[in-house]
Amino acid sequence: MRHLKSLLFLAHGAKMRKATFNLVLALGLAAVAHASIIPCPTAPVQTYVTTFSTFANGCTIGSSNLVFFNFQYSTTVTGPAAVPNSTQATLSPLNDGNGFGLQYLPTVPFFANATGVADADLKFIVQSFSGPLASPTLNGNIISDLYLEMSGTATAGTFGTPGQDVLVETFCPGGSTLPPAAVCPASTPPVTQSRTLTINPGTSSPQALRITNFAFTNSIAIDKDIQASGNNGSATITGVKNQISTIPEPATSFFVGTGLFLVWAAARRRLKR
């Protein structure tokens, strides 16, 4: 009998150890999942391309409930011009009155002299989520608009067409693939949209544009074509910004509203005393 009790005790201990191991493993996996989505850093474009390739290992900015991922970058140069490669330009997180987003900054000259063309193409996807990062839910139509900004200079030559900086933003509201050429559920009609910013001789810099003509959505696929064209003059690009505005989710609005009501009710009771 004593021997049987010992065997039962050992079996029970083994089960407890296995359960503890499974719990530790689950917690470890949850920690890994939580750690896979990290704050967007100030880093070379190459870091974004190699590190933030999928939603599960994307990056987020502030309290935005937005994940930035699937970065792609390519360049082309024609004639007397130069464009930064993926290690010669940085992306930095932005969180200000224009929304949550990224700033593209060349660390070497991005220019085109007469007859030259320098072009950089940057693509990525932004997806909103609900819940904790350890187990995010891919929903929440909180993306409300898109903000673009480009800085640079352009000069004219002694004749012919002057230099020009051009930013062409192709985007797919509700899209989740690159290039953004699929169905765009939050756009009317449901296709990709395109907007252009230009800097010419005498144009103020930066040039900016806010895009609001799409329904609130939970994702947006973006393709930024950044180009300096020398023509018969010259052109230089010094920076580009891309930011997204968000609205609170209904649950968040409810809790905020409830909290404000409770504060008002408590203040009212104190005044009546």
> What residues contact residue 86 under an 8 Å CB cut-off, 6+ apart?
44, 45, 46, 49, 73
* DSSP-assigned states of every residue in 116-179: -EEEEEEEEEEEE-BS-TTS-BS----EEEEEEEEEEEEE--SSSSPPEEEEEEEEEET--SSS
Tokens of 122: 């940057």
pLDDT of residue 20: 44
State the alpha helices, DSSP H only, in the chain: 2-36, 45-51, 250-272
Tokens of 231: 């023509």
pLDDT of residue 260: 40
The length of the chain, given as a count of residues: 273
pLDDT of residue 23: 39
pLDDT of residue 248: 75
Backbone angles phi, psi at 37, to 5 degrees: -100, 115
pTM for this entry: 0.78
pLDDT of residue 7: 44
Gyration radius of the chain's alpha carbons: 26
pLDDT of residue 138: 64
Convert the pLDDT of each residue in 162-181 to its tens digit.
999 999 999 999 998 888 87
pLDDT of residue 18: 45
Low-confidence ranges of the chain (pLDDT < 50): 2, 4-5, 7-12, 15-35, 251-264
User: What H or E segment, with its residue span, contains residue 60?
Assistant: strand 59-60
pLDDT of residue 140: 76
Convert the pLDDT of each residue in 71-95 to its tens digit.
999 999 999 999 999 999 999 999 9
pLDDT of residue 86: 98
pLDDT of residue 64: 87
pLDDT of residue 51: 97
> What are the residue boundaries of the structural domains of the chain, listed by start?
1-36, 37-248
Q: How far apart are CA 147 and CA 20, in angstroms?
A: 50
